Structure formats: structure tokens, C-alpha cells
């Protein structure tokens, strides 16, 4: 037992002396990536920049004063296919806003083609417009979609958004052009 303790103390003393005299300094090397290695590492070690979903179509119907609960905007959208991290995304990874306020929208899907359908109802429209007079006099607002992802404990957001400019002219009609068309 004493002998082991002595060997341990001696080894510790050699390590301390070696560190103090600089015995563990790094050596220069000529190592470098080859062109093939650099190309492979750049592809495998790149950063992820989240993109908003692709909007495949938009459709809209002017709400009537008698039935504000009918859908006024339907957005069909999808994630980029076969690309990480999107392959594991769901509808929960999209945050919808109307004029900057988080929107309560209903999303179903994906269908067999990977397309989700998000529907906004007149109840949401009434909250945004503030009064029924805006339906008669006209109004406009933006609907935006942003990708969100929480791979660990912090949330990542796409720097860009997809924006649908909804315009309700006075008395009749509604316009909601697809930003990806």
C-alpha cells in the first residue's frame, strides 16, 4: 500500500515538473484539408438557416356581416421536402400572425402530397378589423408565416417571413395574392 502511494506521488511530481518546464507544448504541423475534404466538411458542417414554408396556394372569400364565422382565408403550404431539419416539422413549426398579432388559425394536414391547409375565420377577421364598418368601408392587413424550431431549450426562428397582403375593398370583393406565385 505504501509502495503504491509512493509511485502515485512520484508520477504526480513528474507531471507537475513536466508541465512547469513546458514539456507538453504543441508541435507545428503541416496538416491541412485536401480539396475533397474541404468540400465534404463544408457540406456536412454548414449552418442551418430556417426558411418559411412554401405557400402553394391562397384563396379568400369576403365574410358577410351575418356570418363572420365563415372562413375568409385559406392558405395551402408545405415544407421543403427531404431536407433536414424540415423532414421532422409539423404544422406546429409555423407561427401565423395578422398585422403582428399571433393569429388563431386552424391547420390540418399534411395530405398525401405533404401539403398543409391553414384556415382563418371571420371571427379572427372581426378582431383584426375592429368593427363591422370596416367590411363596408374596406380595409387591408397582412398575414405572415414564420418558421419556428426548438431543437433544444431555445427557439430558433426563420429570419424571413412569408407575407400575404389581404385587401378588402369597400362593399364587395377580397384579394389575397399568393406571395410564392
> How does pLDDT run across 124-138, given as a tens digit for each residue?
555 555 556 666 778
Residue 41 is assigned to a structural domain of this protein: no
**CA–CA separation, 126 and 135 (whole Å):** 9
Q: Residue 18: phi, psi to the nearest 5?
A: -65, -45
Residue 8 is assigned to a structural domain of this protein: no
User: In the chain, how many domains are there?
Assistant: 1
Q: Residue 54: helix, strand or coil by DSSP?
A: strand
Residue 174 is assigned to a structural domain of this protein: no
> How does pLDDT run across 82-91, given as a tens digit for each residue?
777 888 899 9
Domain that holds residue 122: 54-168
Residue 77 is assigned to a structural domain of this protein: yes
Name the nearest CA neighbour of 103 among 75, 124, 82: 124
Residue 155 is assigned to a structural domain of this protein: yes
What CATH number is associated with residue 112?
A: 2.60.40
Please indicate, yes or no, whether the overall pTM of this predicted structure exceeds 0.85.
no
pLDDT of the residue at 74:
95
- Quick check: 64 pLDDT over 80? no
**CA–CA separation, 158 and 156 (whole Å):** 7
Q: Residue 37: phi, psi to the nearest 5?
A: -65, -40
Amino acid at each position: 500500500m505504501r509502495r503504491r502511494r509512493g509511485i502515485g506521488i512520484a508520477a504526480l511530481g513528474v507531471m507537475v515538473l513536466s508541465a512547469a518546464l513546458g514539456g507538453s507544448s504543441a508541435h507545428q504541423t503541416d496538416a491541412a484539408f485536401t480539396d475533397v475534404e474541404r468540400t465534404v466538411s463544408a457540406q456536412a458542417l454548414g449552418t442551418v438557416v430556417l426558411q418559411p414554408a412554401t405557400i402553394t396556394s391562397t384563396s379568400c372569400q369576403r365574410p358577410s356581416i351575418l356570418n363572420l364565422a365563415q372562413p375568409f382565408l385559406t392558405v395551402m403550404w408545405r415544407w421543403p421536402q427531404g431536407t433536414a431539419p424540415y423532414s421532422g416539422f409539423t404544422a406546429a413549426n409555423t407561427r401565423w400572425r395578422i398585422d403582428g398579432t399571433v393569429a388563431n388559425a386552424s391547420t390540418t394536414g399534411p395530405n398525401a402530397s405533404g401539403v398543409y391547409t391553414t384556415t382563418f375565420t371571420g371571427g379572427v377577421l372581426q378582431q383584426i378589423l375592429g368593427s363591422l364598418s370596416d367590411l363596408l368601408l374596406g380595409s387591408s392587413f397582412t398575414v405572415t408565416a414564420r418558421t419556428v424550431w426548438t431543437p433544444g431549450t431555445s427557439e430558433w426562428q426563420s429570419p424571413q417571413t412569408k407575407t400575404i397582403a389581404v385587401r378588402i375593398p369597400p362593399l364587395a370583393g377580397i384579394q389575397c395574392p399568393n406571395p410564392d406565385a
